[in-house]
Copies of this chain bind each other. A is one copy, B any other.
Amino acid sequence: MKIAVIGGGSSYTPELIEGFINHYWELPVSEIYLVDIEQGKEKLEIVGNLARRMVENANVPITINMTLDRRKAIEQADFVTTQIRVGLLEARVRDEQIPLAFNLIGQETTGAGGFAKALRTIPVILDICKEIEELAPDAHLLNFTNPAGIVTEAVLKYSNVKTIGLCNLPIGTKMRIAQLYDVNPEHVEFEMIGINHLVWTTKIMVEGKNVTDDVLKKASYTKGITVRNVPDFGWDPLFLKSLGALPCSYHKYYYMPNQMLQDQMKAMKGGEIRAKVVKKIEDELFELYQESNLKVKPKQLELRGGAYYSEAAVNLMTSIYNNKKDIQVVNVQNKGILPCLPINCSIEINCLIDKEGARPIQPSENLPTQIRGLLQIVKAYEELTIEAAVRGDVDMALQALSIHPLVGADVAQPLLAKILNENRRYLPQFN
């Protein structure tokens, strides 16, 4: 079995390699191609060599290949994963800082930051898809590249590649609920419904018992049900009760925007926006990765924010490869399972995973009205963003920002001008 890892020079790669090593017994990978662009060559070398030491140390017969030739990596691959960042971390710094200059949330996947990232990323991903269509038409593309929901939808709409979008938030939520109840994660079941980074957990069962209301109470006081890169403000208990579902970490940008914005403003003033924190962590990680006696994934990687990332990725490949028919929360095409959203959009939802990919399971309950409304407007923003990215259409870009609940028409024009200008190297479609 051949795996192509596009953006293989990422600091996350050792996480993924660890996953392949641990699951080798059920997922017999023979070849991994780490591929990156010219500017990432040095990092690719560092990460690739660490990966080789890791597989050697673990004594599994996986060959690690490093290459700048993307076509060679993709050719005949069984799985292609993408974890690219067009414009590198410098672009992320801008994604986070530009909105803050307009007094808006600056976040790399949500709001104006995620919008800018989508415009840069979608054309590159669609180029990759053309190569997959040609060189590995049966491959599954597992997309981790953010904004994962938007990118996955672009692939579903504009290519024939089999694709699934993946985020570590669902598995992280399961882990934290398991901790909360002190049970094995296997005994936690839940239904998540929504779109990537805007997904509600509508039903939670622990050891076969419905504990949804109890989690909503606990979540109000217990901090901890949040991903690392989102500040951990507790939820208001009355709000959660009225919502009737557990929001995800990124919901805080929508449900407590003032607090979140103040927090970001403070961080920015302290020079500590998330992109810079991450950049520092990354620099340290690559320092570490070069130590030739390092032969396992270093503990420090966990600070980077990708907890359970390899678990999510390798679980998905394993279930596909072994036709497991288990349930995982991933990003797939709606096809009518959520009738309130367009038939051809991407959604994040419980799916049955088998040899053919992922198919949604009908939710137990209809989506509550309060969830539906927010979901619909953010999905409309996503659709506009995809069209703007694919066509280079300034009008659609302007409307995308205008209707986003965290941006608005008041500020959309100068904000868009700045985003297009500061990213112009990466936005050929707008020139």
Contact = CB atoms under 8 A, between A and B. Distances in A.
Interface in A384-412: 384, 387, 394-396, 398-400, 402-403, 405, 408-410, 412
Interface in A193-218: 205, 208
Given A242-B398, A337-B336, A403-B373, A359 B359 contact: no
Interface in A339-361: 339-340, 352, 354-356, 359-361
A257 B374 contact: no
A239 interface: yes
A405 B409 CA distance: 12
A360 to B, nearest CB: 5
A138 to B, nearest CB: 12
A18 interface: no
A381 interface: yes
Contacts of A377: 373-374, 376-377, 405
A398 B238 contact: yes
Secondary structure call for the A interface: helix
A410 B241 contact: no
Contacts of A356: 364
Nearest to A322: B208
Interface residues of A, number: 64
A399 B243 contact: yes
Contacts of A383: 369
Contact of A239 (B242, B378, B409): B409
Nearest to A323: B208
A255 B364 contact: no
A254 interface: yes
A326 B355 CA distance: 16
Contacts of A57: none
Interface in A305-336: 323, 325-327, 335-336
Greatest chain B CB density within 10 A among A242, A325, A412 is at: A242
Given A370-B380, A373-B376, A402-B370, A238 B413 contact: yes
A290 interface: no
A280 interface: no
A208 B355 contact: yes
Contacts of A339: 336, 339
A236 interface: yes
Nearest to A244: B395
Contacts of A361: 352, 359-362
A383 B369 CA distance: 7
A13 to B, nearest CB: 30
A72 interface: no
A408 B327 CA distance: 34
Nearest to A410: B258
Most buried by B among A362, A372, A399: A362
A332 to B, nearest CB: 9
Contacts of A387: 369
Closest A-B pairs by Cβ, 4 of them: A373-B380, A242-B395, A376-B376, A370-B399
27 contacts: A205-B355, A208-B323, A238-B398, A239-B412, A242-B394, A242-B402, A254-B409, A255-B408, A256-B410, A257-B408, A325-B327, A335-B366, A339-B339, A340-B376, A359-B363, A362-B362, A370-B384, A370-B396, A370-B400, A372-B376, A373-B376, A373-B377, A373-B379, A376-B376, A376-B377, A376-B380, A377-B405
